Amino acid sequence: MKPLPIGIQTFSEIVNHDMVYIDKTDLIYQLIKPQKYFFLSRPRRFGKSLLISTLQAYFEGRKELFKGLKIEQLETEWTEYPVVMLSLASCKSNDLNEIVKFISTALSQQEFRFGLADKAESVDDNIKPNTNFNLRLERIIETAYQQTGKQVVLLIDEYDALMLNTIEDLTAFAKIRLHINNLLAPLKDLDPILNFVLITGTAHFSQMYMFDEVNNIIDITMSDKYAELCGFTDLEIETYFADYLAEFAARINKTIPEIMVELKRYCGGYQFSNINKQLYNPYCVVQTLANFTFSNYWAKEEKTSPLVNFLNTPKYQDWQDNMRIINDYDMPYEIRKSCFLLVLRRGYLSMKSYSKEYDQYVVGIPNEDVKTLFGKSASTFRARRGRWTSGR
């Protein structure tokens, strides 16, 4: 059996070590051709970072990594572009100064790559960070363009992670949001020298009051076309993990269809479009098949999130009962009338089905793994034109 990519989110490492890779490069090819600016929201550990890494390898022209994958039959040019990639997910601190230094360090690494600094900063450096993040990113992109004569690709992974670290401190939250706003401010002016932009996160821009800076971006979060870009389908699991399913079934004296039923109960139940196509959490699936045991793998990782602590405070711990009615799918966090949208985007709730006839969604806790996160019984909610009602 091929090794499972446990904890590995780098495309080249998965390919070079011949690990199991769910080939979605045909969808990636469709994404990169017609438009320029995209935003994708998915829950944590849903494959966003691997998607970013795959895109980076593609735009860097690393054709050899895509041998045997679907995109190999689609792409004929394999043009190399300069890529600026910022990952904001690895900082776990809720300290304002440490977060600012983390942003500065991420930019410094790109400045060093393109010869704008003699060395890259470290978060441990005892220096005051340059917080002109907009000017620094603008200079990086302009330099990359000047050095290569080619338009630049910008990839930003988990843009909202740093803000969510401070969600229990509204003052710090607002300051970090301003820094991220500042970071993204040059995008519109840099349009002539940008080839492709993808920003990922768990919260939508309007929830962060950031639409003014990125109002030309296409949100593909609920796109039917790209619903399967992150996450596994039944067919993908049955195809790419066939050996592991067979081994699992043999170990516990079950059939593969019976294993799939349990896998859906623990790891499935996610839906990101109106076409009623259910997806599985990749992290949960890989952990389950690696350990040949069903458990709450995703919840164990998520329970340390500041957001979980926030939702379990007395003010918000009844979110399943009290968060029925909203006026806008992308209500800003500060309004605080409801945490419903926050838990929906984060993956604590998911669309269960959609009725075109009634223009109505049914939303509920996706699976057993997520249910253990709060230790509450599952609820479903129905939504029509912004109004949500409970349906247990």
Query: And the tokens for 193?
Result: 């020298």
Does 356 or 337 have the greater pLDDT score? Answer: 356
Residue 34: predicted pLDDT: 72
Q: How far apart are CA 293 and CA 300, in angstroms?
A: 14
Q: Assign 380 a pLDDT band (cuts: 50, 70, 90).
A: very low
Q: How far apart are CA 241 and CA 244, in angstroms?
A: 5
SS3 140: helix
Residue 343: predicted pLDDT: 75
Query: And the tokens for 55?
Result: 């895109």
Answer yes or no: are the C-beta atoms of 384 and 377 closer than 8 Å.
no
Q: Minimum mean pLDDT among 138-147, 203-212, 291-300: which range?
A: 203-212
The 8-class DSSP code of residue 3 comes to P
Q: How far apart are CA 110 and CA 141, in angstroms?
A: 9
Beta bridge mates, 40: 200
Q: Is the pLDDT of residue 10 over 50?
A: yes
Q: Minimum mean pLDDT among 24-28, 120-124, 340-344: which range?
A: 340-344
Q: Is the pLDDT of residue 196 over 50?
A: yes
Q: Minimum mean pLDDT among 128-132, 194-198, 275-279, 317-321: which range?
A: 317-321
Does 214 or 277 have the greater pLDDT score? Answer: 277
Amino acid residing at 107: L
Could you name the CATH architecture of 11-219? Answer: 3-Layer(aba) Sandwich (3.40)
Q: Which helix (H) or strand (E) holds 85?
A: strand 83-87
Across 10-19, 171-180, 336-345, the highest mean pLDDT is recorded for 10-19
Residue 177: predicted pLDDT: 87
Residue 63: predicted pLDDT: 97
What is the full DSSP assignment across 111-122? HHHTTSSSS---
What percent of the chain lies above the pLDDT cut of 70?
82
Q: Is the pLDDT of residue 243 over 70?
A: yes
Residue 215: predicted pLDDT: 65
Determine the average pLDDT of the residues in 191-196.
Answer: 96
Write the CB contacts of 306 (distance below 8 Å, at least 6 apart in sequence): 94, 164, 165, 166, 167, 168
Q: How many CB atoms lie within 10 A of CB 256?
A: 15
Q: How far apart are CA 392 and CA 378, in angstroms?
A: 7
- pLDDT digits over 213-236, tens only? 566 788 898 899 999 999 999 999
Q: How far apart are CA 65 and CA 12, in angstroms?
A: 7
Q: Is the pLDDT of residue 389 over 70?
A: no
Q: Is the pLDDT of residue 28 over 90?
A: yes
Amino acid residing at 39: F
Strands (E), 170-299: 194-201, 218-219
Half-sphere exposure of residue 36: CA atoms within 13 angstroms, side-chain side:
14
Query: And the tokens for 306?
Result: 């500041």
Q: Assign 295 a pLDDT band (cuts: 50, 70, 90).
A: very high
Instruction: Please give the C-alpha separations between residue 264 and each of 42, 104, 237, in angstroms, as whole numbers.
Output: 18, 41, 11
Residue 206: predicted pLDDT: 60
Q: How far apart are CA 204 and CA 291, in angstroms?
A: 34
Residue 60: predicted pLDDT: 97
Q: How far apart are CA 326 and CA 334, in angstroms?
A: 14
Residue 305: predicted pLDDT: 78
199 phi and psi angles, rounded to 5 deg: -120, 130
Q: Is the pLDDT of residue 102 over 80?
A: yes
Q: Is the pLDDT of residue 324 over 50?
A: no
Domain borders along the chain are 11-219, 234-390
Write the CB contacts of 125 (distance below 8 Å, at least 6 apart in sequence): 101
Q: Assign 391 a pLDDT band (cuts: 50, 70, 90).
A: very low
Q: Is the pLDDT of residue 355 over 90?
A: no
Residue 331: predicted pLDDT: 37
Averaged pLDDT of the chain: 85
Q: Which helix (H) or strand (E) holds 110?
A: helix 96-113
Q: Is the pLDDT of residue 392 over 50?
A: no
Write the CB contacts of 168 (distance below 8 Å, at least 6 apart in sequence): 94, 306, 309, 310, 313
- pLDDT digits over 38-94, tens only? 999 999 899 999 999 999 999 999 999 999 999 999 999 999 999 999 999 888 888
Q: How far apart are CA 361 and CA 354, in angstroms?
A: 5
Residue 316: predicted pLDDT: 55
Q: Assign 375 a pLDDT band (cuts: 50, 70, 90).
A: low
What percent of the chain lies above the pLDDT cut of 90?
56
